[in-house]
Structure 1
Amino acid sequence: MYNIFKIIFTECFICESVLITVSVSVSGVHVLQEVNGCEWDDETEEVKGFVQFGYDGKDFLELDLKTFTWMALRPEAVIAKPIWDASKVGVGVVDYYKTAFTLIYPELLKKYVEYGRSFLLRTELPSVSLLQKTPSSPVSCLATGFYPHRASLVWRKDGEELHEEVDHGEILPNHDGTFQMSVDLKLSSVTPEDWTRYDCVFQLSGVKEEIITKLEKDRIRTNEGKSEIRG
């Protein structure tokens, strides 16, 4: 395997010597930049990519990945091109990218796609809690720890979703990559004998089962006690 960092370091001196021949001042600090990328189609197995070098922030040379030859991107690079084509360093860089774009990069992309799918396509159900600051405060139904973020959380009465006397919060991210959301129910419109008619329902996209939390006093988390339902 080629040491690409050693190759790029050598190219800095090649660029400097080439630019001197075209009367471009190279005194002071200069920067050689490289950017490359690879695109892999998991259906056709087609691999596309690009390799480009810049000098002092300006495009300089680009490697044609079909012919694996250098293309000059500015006048000063016209002289550099045949030198890179013939030099051991230039040939070494080309050989490296032949291997990279046929073997190394596609295999890495396949692994990243596999890891990404297993992580991004997972589902995690939340814990659901009922919270209340004071006896006269709204009861907040909080669902936290779910993934993905496509989910709904509603209050229902007799199985029907409530649209009045409720306040929906936004879906917010947690520090671990999961999400949380809440919906408040104003108790001013709920009589004590009607509490059993209310429940909070969490539904995660792609999951059939709902998490249903009944509005009961012993389920409400306050300063005096806690209640939590795990998904």
Structure 2
Amino acid sequence: MKLCLCLLLEVQMHCSVVPVIHTLKYFHTASSQVPNFPEFVSVGYVDEVQIVRYDSNSRKAEPKQDWMNQITVEDPRYWETQTEIGVFNELVIKNGIEVLMKRYNQTGGVHIVQKMTGCEWNDETDEVKGWYQLGYDGEDLMSLDMKTWTWTASRQQAFPSKLKWDQDKLLLEYIKYYYTEECPYYLKKYVNYGKEVLMRTELPEVFLLQKTPSSPVSCMATGFYPDTADLFWRKDGERTFEDVEHEEIFPNHDGTFQLSVHLKVEVMADVEGMYECVFQLSGVKEDLVTKLERRSILSNASHGDNLSVALFSTAAVIAVAALLAAIFVVRCHRNRPARQDGAEISKSETQQPALGCFVHWNTERCLHR
């Protein structure tokens, strides 16, 4: 049990107990007539770190982290099994495009089906939550309510599937088992395999940026890990929300993250020292504090080269995020094919005969050993 004793003496201290929320996410994307892109791609993530990939070009499930190969000690056929699951999911989800095109009265063109499944685990309370979301051509299509274990159709075209799946009690029991038992079981296993990477902490570099003297001052923290972080402005020692704009956390190419917060203020002598940018990272007691001073700001006027490099880095990350968003068209909220849709439920403890059950658009299929 974690315990934090906060003492308020003459020095203000940042002290909080922040549990770590671990996530296991799978993204499956089937597309039609998209040039230079596989017709089917499936990727898995643990805590936003990619662990596995399968696509219709290679037709092979491959680990994306060295530590994922530890699982073959327990299951020598693990990656062969994941390849079989990937091939089967490819057929099922690609068929989903054909079914939906008929329901939408479409005869051709570019179409994308995306499915996001997974679970999260609170390492302090042991609470588990799951999610299952479907999207078609950039719109929410269908999702599973994990409280009532019923399906919600976001579009009329998904209603026939909702009715069928709601009536399939055996399927719902299986799905309930996967999201409450199987998914967190493997999530914990993967976290243990990759704990040296996933449980690390890296502090960022913090920059104050300003395009022109009349532009907002941007405080950017980049290179931190994990993504459970906060960045904000303080005025006279108190957190301020006035004239402040926050951005979402973006991933860097090296597996770390970056975050920016903007302050609309005219940097004059009378405000220097009044404002400070504060970065807080889960698991780190001390804050990183950067005082707002004109000499600390990278701007076009004073540090053009440095500012250009910093802004280019930010723009590059945003461009990559936009590209991914175009491919994975459904926005999935919190804010990664090892076990797809609960694809594999059998292990020695469960003694289940099925290697994996998959929800089809019109029926439910199981792949047996």
Greater C-alpha radius of gyration: 1
Question: What's the TM-score, normalizing by structure 2?
Answer: 0.31
